[in-house]
Amino acid sequence: MHHLPRLRSLSLLNLKLKSTHQLKQAHAQLITNGLKSTSIYGKLIQQCCALSDPESTSLYAHLVFKHFDEPNLFLLNTLIRCTQPKDSIFLFANWVSKASLCFDDFTYKFVLGACARLPSIPTLVVGREVHARIVKEGIISNILVQTTLVHCYASNKDLDSARKVFDEMTERTSVTWNAMITGYSSHRESARDALLLFRDMLDCDSGVKPTDTTTVCVLAAASQLGVLETGACVHGYVEKAMPAPDGDVFMGTGLVDMYSKCGSVDSALTIFKRMKQRNVLTWTAMATGLAIHGKGSEALELLDVMKAHGTNPNEVTFTSLLAACCHVGLVEEGLHLFHMMKTKFGVTPHMQHYGCIVDLLSRSGHLNEAYDFIIAMPVEPDAVLWRSLLSACKVHGNVAMGEKVGRKLLHIQLTQSSADGTPKSEDYVALSNIYAYAEKWDAVEMVREEMKVMGIENKAGSSSVQTTSNHALDGL
């Protein structure tokens, strides 16, 4: 009979705990019944991190780990894997400084995964330091560690380092190929490399085949480059190699996006109508494709159809559509779309939506309307909006408006930089250029004198990156 409480305690951990209260109850029962194995406490830490309040439950998970009798690598690895990326990186750095545990391949895999999920300059520095450690410790030949290292570098935009690790691997899985191809396809300047690497993958005799993820990323690369023939070839491969591609919403969305951006909106519509499932991204891709090709009315009509099918457009939908209207100069459609956001679809505009309208009006020469739009905004406009209008003033040769906007921008900059020190030079230079364009040399000299008085130098900025873990983590 004395085994029953223990069994109840264990069965609790096999359930999905839904609150911190249930979590603490389970923990208390484990303590009461003397259950303190690493596997059981590993499950408890996993349950902590799976709850909906990551901040408080992550703290509790750390307390569970800290109160275990002896430092335990299994529990440390579990905690690094399950907590938020920032917490994982700090935890790893803390145990590096203690030097009381010998890390294994799982430790490095999990911390590199955390660096990949939180891309930034500091996490890239941490990733490089982990790379150096695994080379020194001889773990670099582990395929899981190598693959995660590729993912870490690619997510942090260090594609050269990612490719170097990739090329040095003697064995690769589809996950490895996907990590490298995804890294390339995420940046337009390297999209061609994604296509070339996909070709290498098809030619490779290792038996590794492209997955759905691979082909979706390759379609994204073709979209960015606008290479219809290549995109159509990938589509042909999908039709032959993948079972029931019409039923895959992500694949279908990728094809709609690719054909739309490569200039074949009719093909995009054919794919769209053939799809058995559609999500908000599918509808967004199709509506944006119509707008890009000047079919603004059809794009707006598709939003109504979308809503009728039970899918509501979201912030991303309107950002994409407004950007498309801006790209092709659909002023009336863009303004109508912006008005419908709140009134018809209940989506509150954010700064990026306001920015699209300012850009739309500015590009089309409606500078006064753009200025009035910014002034009437219910939220405080940021400097980016004013810079967009200032740039348009130069393009359209409107010096009077340019001066008014420039002065607004300088006021914002002075206000924002009061706590940071000397203001930047870019906005002063932009205003000076407008005066120079109109050959108002006295005004140019006035701006330059103003820069001298403010102690502003017209020079490119520079930055430096610390190369130690402690300094790197300061930027997280």
User: By three-state DSSP, how is residue 135 classified?
Assistant: helix
The CA-atom distances, in angstroms, between 24 and each of 4, 37, 68 are: 19, 17, 16
Amino acid at 456: I
Q: What is the pLDDT of residues 114-165, one digit of tens each?
A: 999 999 999 999 999 999 999 999 888 899 999 999 999 999 999 999 999 9
Q: What are phi and psi of 317, to 5 degrees?
A: -55, -50
Question: Would the pLDDT of 353 be above 80?
Answer: yes
Q: What is the pLDDT of residues 356-376, one digit of tens each?
A: 999 999 999 999 999 999 999
Q: What is the pLDDT of residues 176-232, one digit of tens each?
A: 999 999 999 999 999 999 999 999 999 988 889 999 999 999 999 999 999 999 999
DSSP conformational letter for 347? P
pLDDT at 38: 67
Across the chain, mean pLDDT equals: 84
pLDDT at 444: 76
User: By three-state DSSP, how is residue 241 classified?
Assistant: helix
pLDDT at 5: 45
Instruction: Give the lowest-confidence range in 26-30, 59-63, 277-281, 461-465.
Output: 461-465
Instruction: Give the lowest-confidence range in 13-27, 286-300, 378-392.
Output: 13-27
Query: How many domains are contained in the chain?
Result: 1
Instruction: Give the lowest-confidence range in 20-29, 215-224, 240-249, 327-336.
Output: 20-29
DSSP conformational letter for 157? T
Question: Would the pLDDT of 409 be above 60?
Answer: yes
Amino acid at 475: G
Query: Does a structural domain hold residue 191?
Result: no
- Name the token pair of 76: 């440390």
State the pLDDT confidence band at 459, using cuts at 50, 70 and 90.
low
Instruction: Give the lowest-confidence range in 280-289, 424-433, 463-472.
Output: 463-472
Residues 6+ apart with CB under 8 A from 346: 312
The CA-atom distances, in angstroms, between 227 and each of 232, 320, 395 are: 9, 21, 31
Amino acid at 288: T
C-alpha 387/C-alpha 427 separation (Å) is: 8
Sign of dihedral through CA atoms 78, 81, 83, 88?
positive
Contact 435, 399 (CB under 8 A): yes
Q: What is the pLDDT of residues 307-321, one digit of tens each?
A: 999 999 999 999 999
Q: What are phi and psi of 140, to 5 degrees?
A: -60, -20
Query: Does a structural domain hold residue 265?
Result: no
Query: Does a structural domain hold residue 114?
Result: no
Residues 6+ apart with CB under 8 A from 132: none
Query: Does a structural domain hold residue 289?
Result: no
Q: What are phi and psi of 347, to 5 degrees?
A: -100, 120
pLDDT at 432: 75
Among candidate residues 363, 369, 371, 360, the one with its CA nearest the CA of residue 319: 360
High-pLDDT (> 90) share of the chain, %: 55
User: By three-state DSSP, how is residue 84 classified?
Assistant: coil
Identify which of 38-47, 96-105, 280-289, 463-472 has the greatest average pLDDT: 280-289
pLDDT at 435: 76
pLDDT at 457: 66
Query: Does a structural domain hold residue 238?
Result: no
High-pLDDT (> 70) share of the chain, %: 77
C-alpha 235/C-alpha 324 separation (Å) is: 24
Question: Would the pLDDT of 58 be above 70?
Answer: no
Instruction: Give the lowest-confidence range in 19-23, 332-336, 380-384.
Output: 19-23
Q: What is the pLDDT of residues 83-116, one digit of tens each?
A: 889 989 998 998 888 878 889 999 999 999 999 9
Question: Would the pLDDT of 468 be above 50?
Answer: no
H, E, C per residue of 263-315: CCHHHHHHHHHHCCCCCHHHHHHHHHHHHHCCCHHHHHHHHHHHHHCCCCCCH
Residues 6+ apart with CB under 8 A from 190: 159, 183, 184
Query: Does a structural domain hold residue 81?
Result: no
| Half-sphere exposure of residue 66: CA atoms within 13 angstroms, side-chain side | 8
Residues 6+ apart with CB under 8 A from 311: 278, 279, 280, 283
C-alpha 360/C-alpha 454 separation (Å) is: 34
Q: What is the pLDDT of residues 7-54, one digit of tens each?
A: 444 444 455 555 566 666 666 666 666 556 666 666 666 666 665 565
Domain that holds residue 433: 357-456
Hey, how many other C-beta atoms are within 10 angstroms of the C-beta on 452?
9
Query: Does a structural domain hold residue 102?
Result: no
Q: Of residues 34 and 170, which shows the higher confidence score?
A: 170
Cα(first)–Cα(last) distance of the chain, in Å?
Answer: 52
User: By three-state DSSP, how is residue 71 classified?
Assistant: coil
Query: Does a structural domain hold residue 253?
Result: no
